[in-house]
Amino acid sequence: MTEQVSLDQPYVIDLLSTKPSPADVDILLNRIPAGDFRRATEIVLICAESFLSLMADDRARPAREAALERIDKPILLLAYDAATATHRLSRMSVSGLMELPQPATAVSRIREYDLARMGR
């Protein structure tokens, strides 16, 4: 069974310019402005492929649990693999990351809403 996400109004956090650890995710989620959080249908972390691996690791389970307890919305991780020129979109769960289908469609929606938010 594949879980779908709406991406009606995602809130995007760009982690590409930083080198976060799994434990940093909870802190970053706490910094989302209240109004943006209420409107968001999902939280999207744009990250490096290496961060996907860190978050999927069993040692990151406490960080995933803390993030999911704080946020009552889907938390997605979006990474771009330059070697294959493809995007990977995964949904966070306590047990790990679940890769979602059709990342190209999701990337378009995420970019659209992130650009609109930056324009405000």
Tell me: the pLDDT tens digits for 78-111?
998 878 888 899 999 999 999 998 777 788 877 7
- What is d(CA 55, CA 77) in angstroms, rounded to the nearest whole number? 9
For residue 76, what pLDDT is reported? 95
Q: Which residues have a Cβ under 8 Å from the Cβ of 108 and sit 6 or more positions away?
A: none
Cα–Cα distances (Å) from 63 to 68, 72, 73, 76, 96, in that order, read 9, 15, 16, 14, 11
Q: Is the pLDDT of residue 117 over 90?
A: no
Q: Is the pLDDT of residue 25 over 90?
A: yes
pTM score of the predicted model: 0.85
- What is d(CA 99, CA 62) in angstroms, rounded to the nearest whole number? 20
